[in-house]
Structure 1
Amino acid sequence: MKWLFGSLMLFHLYYSAPKTGHITLEINNIKEAKGYLWVGVYNNPQDFMNKEKAIMVKGEVVKKTGVHYIRLENMPLGTIAIALFHDLNGNGELDQTMIGIPKEPYAFSQKIKTKWRIPQYEDVKIEFKEAGQIVPMNLEQW
């Protein structure tokens, strides 16, 4: 009987373990202390880079150059991809040239291999395994 009770307790603990947690983004290479950092988090390839389908969108004011930390709460554990840009003029959009080249700094959860195409979900996905995980991201600009 004690064995059965102990097994049931372990089963309950395993399946009631938190499936969410916080993740901290460490954004490096901020060169201007103005505007906003906008973050989009995605958990499937079909929705990647579609702001309306992000599982989380967050913006924070940039007050200094160098490094900025953004904490995202209640993130589901699992595979995610993060896209971020530094909105220098505060218009809420990633400004681009007429041919689609970003005018503002941007970053992804993985370093992209080439600037010559928009990265795919598979290129930048990461595993969010435990609460408190830190994801370093380096802003880049064309």
Structure 2
Amino acid sequence: MFLFFALRLLVFHSFSAETKLVVDVQNIRHHTGQIRVGLYKPCAGFPTGCKPLVSHQVDVTGNTARITFSVKPGDYAVALFHDVNGNGQLDKKMFGIPKEPYGFSNNFRPSLSGPAFDDCRVRVEESEKKISIKLI
């Protein structure tokens, strides 16, 4: 009987345990506005065709910023941009090219189109995971 409860507790704990994903944002050139970050689970239309699991924004106060997410172990992707003018959206030039600095996990640099989820996939295990994203 004791063994049954011990195993059940172990299984419950392993499925509900959370860890941290720490995102350090580098190369912030303008000291105004906010860094807006979306954390995504695997989805086909990443990043524009699916909703982020969690979104955060932090005020810019220097050349770097840190955002911490509490997550369950698994695969995630991060998309972020520096909302320099604070209007709540990523401003774009002609043909949809971003006007404001942006970045993706794995420091993926898109060429002709946006990234796929697999380009930005980050595996989070049971221990804390730290990643760094350099704004483009």
What interval of TM-score do these two structures reach, taking the shorter chain for normalisation? 0.7 to 0.9
* Unaligned ranges ≥5, structure 2: none
Q: Given the alignment, which residue of 56, 65, 90 partners 1:68?
A: 65
Question: Are the equivalent residues in 1 in contact too, given 2:106–2:133 (CA < 8 A)?
Answer: yes
* Unaligned ranges ≥5, structure 1: none
Deviation at 1:64, TM superposition (A): 1.1
Residue 34 of structure 2 corresponds to 36
Q: Percent identity?
A: 30
1:1-142 correspondence to structure 2 within 5 Å? 5-6=2-3, 8-17=5-14, 18-46=16-44, 48-50=46-48, 53-65=51-63, 67-73=64-70, 75-140=71-136
Q: Taking structure 1 as the reference length, what is the TM-score of the superposition?
A: 0.83
Q: Which runs of 4+ in 1 moved over 6 A?
A: none
**Letter aligned with residue 69 of structure 1:** R
Q: SS of the residue aligned with 2:9? A: helix
Alignment length (residue pairs): 135
Q: Highest CA radius of gyration, 1 or 2?
A: 1
Distance in 1 of aligned mates of 2:47 and 2:131: 18
Partner deviation per Cα, 1:67-101 (whole Å, 9 max, x = no partner): 2111123x232011110000100011111112111
